[in-house]
């Protein structure tokens, strides 16, 4: 098994937490963003989340379809069960 660098692990685990703690409103999947801002910035660069305009004022981020798919793959990678 290859080792994951700490920076990458923070991004991946942050994405897992965003996904597991998600909520839906008006057909949009979101999550509270009480996580490392650098990690959130990297996840947005990967198009896994969307912080939107005026992101520094918002308390939640939107999970993109690509981000949801990635989160599901990360759950498998880390052996974490999804909500039923």
Domain boundaries, the chain: 1-25
Q: Which residues of the chain have pLDDT under 70?
A: 1
Give the CA count within 13 Å in the CB-facing half-sphere of 69.
5
What's the rounded Cα separation, in Å, for the pair 83 and 8?
24
**H or E stretch covering 67:** helix 65-78
43-54, pLDDT tens digit by residue? 999 999 999 888
65-77, pLDDT tens digit by residue? 999 999 999 999 9
- Specify the pLDDT at position 57: 79
pTM: 0.79
Exposed, middle or buried by CB within 10 Å (0-12, 13-18, 19+), for 81?
exposed
């Amino acid at each position: 098994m290859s080792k994951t660098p700490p920076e990458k692990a923070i991004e991946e685990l942050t994405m897992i937490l965003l996904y597991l703690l998600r909520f839906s409103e008006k057909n949009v999947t979101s999550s509270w963003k009480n996580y490392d801002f650098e990690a959130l910035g990297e996840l947005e660069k990967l198009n896994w989340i969307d912080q939107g305009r005026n992101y520094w004022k918002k308390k939640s981020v939107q999970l993109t379809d690509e981000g949801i798919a990635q989160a599901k793959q990360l759950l498998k990678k880390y052996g974490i069960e999804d909500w039923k």
